[in-house]
Structure formats: C-alpha cells, structure tokens
C-alpha cells in the first residue's frame, strides 16, 4: 500500500472477457412507496453495491434539499469489494452515473463484470439493459456524447466503450477497448485499482486515474475509438477522482497528499500542470465534484469536506473557510465517500460509509455548506458497504 495513503487512513474509525451484450427482462420500479404524495424537485440515487443483489435506492428531493426514500430496484447483478478497502468497497468515483440527454442511469456490477442501465423518470427507474463490462471488476463509468466508457479494475485493467443508441441501448464500439497494463488480481487491491474515468466536455479525450501507478492516462478519441493511453505522471501522490472547471481544465483529487491538482489537457493527450497540489490539511482526499469554478473534496480519513476555488488562470486555492473545511460529515466520524451535486448546483450530497447515511447540504454563495437533511438506513461499512451516488 502507498505509505502516504496508509498514514492518512490510520485516522479512520474502526469499524477473458467478451463484449457481448446480455439482455435482461426490464422490471419496473414504482417510486411512490410513501402513503402521501411526495413533492419532487429532483432525485438522489444511491448504489448499495450488495454482494449478492446490487440495487439502487431512490430518494425524492424537495425544493429545500430534504430527501424522502421512495423505493429500491435491483440492478440484476452483484456488487463487489476490492481487497483491503478501508471504507469504500469500490475505491472509485462514478460507479453510478447519469446521462441527461438520454435520461439514463448507469450502474456497475463489479461482482458480475457487468453494467446495468435504467431509464429515469423523476424518481422512477425502469431497468433497461445489462451488458458485459468488457473486462473484470468494473468500478467507474462515464456517459456523454452518445457514448459510455467503462473502467475495469481487475487483471490488467481496461477501458471499454459503447455507443448509446437513440433508444438508449448500448452497443460495443469497435476499436474502443484499451488495456491499462496493470497487474491486479481479478478482485484488485484498492490501492492498485484505477479509480475514475471521465470524458472531456468536447468528447475528444477520455481520462483515467491509476492511483498507485501515479499516472493520469489520457486516451485520444476518434469517433468513439480510443488511442493507446498517453501516460502522464501525476503532479501529486495517488490521483483518485477527476472533475472539470468551466474552462475545461482538469482537476484531480490526490488521496496520498490530500490535495487538488489542476491541469490543462493538450490536444495530443499530454497534460500541462497548473497547480501541482494545494493541500487541505486533511486525510485522504479521494472524491471531487464541482460547480464550474468551485470544487468540493471528500476527505475519507477525516470525515470532512473541503472547498477549493479555481481562478481564471486555473490555479486552485482553498476557499469557504480559512482552512477550506466546510463540513464535518456524519458528526466527524461518518467516513466520507462519494459526493454529488444537483444539476441546479444548489445542493451537495455526501455518502457516509460508517454512518450508513447520505447527508444533504445547501451550497452557500461563500462556498460554505449548510446541512439540511440526513437520510439514514443505508448500508453501513463493515468490510463492505454502499458506493455510488447521483443527485439530480
């Protein structure tokens, strides 16, 4: 295990694959489980990552950010857990993702080596399709530009691409499967497994973080097909989650140094470092989401959320408070993992692994966070737990 990340996590409380498409019967999910009508402004979805029966839990969100649980629907696959995980079963970001143009939700089934798609109508989910992930142990997916790319962490690791058809079905893209050259077990160690996959806003590149390899791999895209990866050395230790600012610059959360780096992506897939790493003084900053020029990072080892601002030049700095810490999740011992921001950028939601909760925060104009709700009764981490969060 990377020594920097190991020290950060000491602070935690104890507590051969083809690309064939597998069709499944699409059971419907009624999101009206409450006895009284639910006023719905948006929705929040949580992936249980259950090892036998992976499922998505749905919540209705009202105008003030409060959540009402409305139901649960099976993915038809099995969840998974990486080896030696401290609190996050998949040790990744974007294991659950939403594609707005097609109104589709995509979930990884790491234990089944598959990906499931759902059609979304408010909080109502209808299971549409399950496909082979194109590799072993899928941990992250990226949807955009009528394409879905899957990051597989097991074995040598790979990226596999699918076309999203006008009716929402996935079909493999020829020339869109690329090996990462890793040496993992089928169920990888959490520190050696890649963590996140993301498409750039223009669709010209796909970005993958490799954690222990300390590289940020960039694939150039040509009509969905992928080039060999351009391996860029990360500016700081253990690159984990990625996001983009309003100028299409890349922001990366570094778990080893608990910092955020910013980069400019050149047309050939190489990276120009802008901010090598602004540290937040917390432990194990792994997850990162943004509103354009403000980013929020989840510190797993500290159960906190930090805020970062990016200026016109792309330089990152702490914001919101003098030390950048804008929330203590789960009372400071919840075990912060996935974060998600609503489409209107008014609310941020955080999964707390040890507490088994999702907390909702209002994003204030000064970049601080105000707690508005806590949804309990979700799987608590005990060697395994939930992972995957989407807010609409």
pLDDT in tens, 18-63: 333 344 333 333 333 333 456 689 999 999 999 999 999 999 999 9
Residue located via tokens 């998505």: 56
From first CA to last CA, the distance across the chain in angstroms is 36
pLDDT value of residue 125? 98
| Tokens coding 145 | 């530009």
What is the four-CA torsion angle of 133, 138, 142, 146, rounded to 10 degrees? Answer: 10
Whether 297 contacts 285, CB under 8 Å: yes
Distance, CA of 74 to chain centre: 19
User: What are the phi and psi torsion angles at 5 (to 5°)?
Assistant: -70, -35
Dist CA 86 CA 44 (whole Å): 25
If pLDDT is split at 50, 70 and 90, which confidence band does 371 have?
Answer: very high
Query: Which two three-digit tokens encode residue 237?
Result: 């230790």
Whether 100 contacts 206, CB under 8 Å: no
Question: Span 206-234, mean pLDDT?
Answer: 98
Note the pLDDT tens digit of each residue in 63-90: 999 999 999 999 999 999 999 999 999 9
% of the chain residues with pLDDT over 90: 89
Phi-psi label, residue 269: left if phi above 0, alpha if psi -120 to 50, beta otherwise: left
pTM score of the predicted model: 0.91
**Residue 132 above 70 pLDDT?**
yes
Is residue 180 packed enough to be buried (19+ CB in 10 Å), middle (13-18) or exposed (0-12)? Answer: buried
Identify the CATH number of the domain defined by range 3-31+40-391.
2.130.10.10
What is d(CA 12, CA 109) in angstroms, rounded to the nearest whole number?
26
Q: Residues with Cβ < 8 Å from 364, sequence gap 6 or more?
A: 370
The answer to whether the CB of 58 falls within 8 A of the CB of 42 is no
Reading the block at residue 283, the tokens are 């432990």
- Give the DSSP H/E element, type plus range, for residue 106: strand 104-109
DSSP string, 270-338: -EEEEEEEEE-SSS-EEEEEESSSEEEEEETTTTEEEEEEE-TT--EEE-SSTT-EEEEGGGGTS-EEE
Question: Beta 336-341 vs 347-352: how paired, if at all?
Answer: antiparallel
Report the mean per-residue pLDDT for the chain.
92
d(CA 61, CA 342): 10
Largest CA distance in the chain: 56
Phi and psi at residue 149, to the nearest 5°:
-115, 135
Q: Render pLDDT for 140-164 as a digit per residue (tens, 0 to 9).
A: 999 999 999 999 999 999 999 999 9
Domain spans, the chain: 3-31+40-391
Residues 255 and 106: their CA atoms lie apart, in Å, by 25
């Amino acid at each position: 295990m990377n020594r920097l990340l190991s020290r950060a996590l000491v602070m935690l409380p104890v507590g051969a694959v083809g690309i064939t498409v597998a069709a499944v019967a699409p059971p419907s999910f009624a999101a009206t489980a409450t006895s009284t009508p639910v006023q719905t402004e948006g929705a929040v979805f949580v992936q249980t990552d259950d090892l036998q029966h992976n499922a998505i839990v749905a919540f209705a969100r009202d105008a003030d950010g409060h959540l009402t649980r409305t139901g649960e629907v099976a993915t038809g696959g099995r969840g998974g857990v990486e080896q030696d995980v401290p609190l996050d079963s998949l040790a990744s970001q974007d294991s659950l993702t939403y594609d707005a143009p097609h109104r589709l939700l995509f979930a990884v089934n790491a234990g089944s080596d598959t990906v499931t798609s759902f059609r979304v109508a408010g909080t109502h989910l209808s299971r549409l399709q399950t496909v082979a992930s194109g590799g072993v142990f899928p941990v992250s997916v990226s949807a955009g530009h009528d394409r879905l790319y899957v990051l597989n962490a097991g074995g040598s690791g790979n990226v596999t691409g699918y076309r999203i058809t006008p009716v929402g079905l996935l079909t493999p893209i020829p020339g869109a499967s690329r090996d990462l050259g890793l040496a993992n077990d089928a169920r990888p160690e959490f520190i050696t497994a890649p963590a996140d996959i993301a498409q750039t806003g223009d669709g010209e590149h796909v970005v993958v973080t490799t954690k222990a390899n300390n590289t940020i791999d960039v694939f150039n895209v040509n009509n969905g097909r992928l080039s060999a990866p351009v391996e860029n050395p990360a500016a700081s230790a253990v690159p984990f989650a990625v996001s983009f600012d309003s100028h299409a610059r890349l922001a990366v959360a570094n778990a080893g140094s608990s910092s955020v780096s910013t980069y400019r992506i050149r047309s050939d897939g190489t990276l120009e470092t802008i901010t090598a790493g602004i540290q937040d003084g917390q432990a194990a900053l792994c997850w990162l989401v943004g509103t354009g020029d403000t980013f929020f990072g989840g510190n797993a080892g500290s159960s906190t959320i930090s805020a970062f601002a990016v200026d016109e030049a792309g330089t990152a700095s702490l914001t919101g408070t003098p030390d950048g810490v804008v929330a203590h999740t789960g009372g400071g011992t919840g075990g912060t993992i996935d974060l998600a921001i609503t489409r209107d950028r008014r609310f941020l939601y955080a999964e707390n692994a040890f507490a088994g909760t999702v907390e909702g925060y209002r994003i204030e104009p000064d970049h601080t966070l105000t707690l508005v709700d806590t949804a309990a009764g979700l799987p608590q981490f005990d060697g395994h737990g939930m992972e995957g969060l989407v807010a609409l």
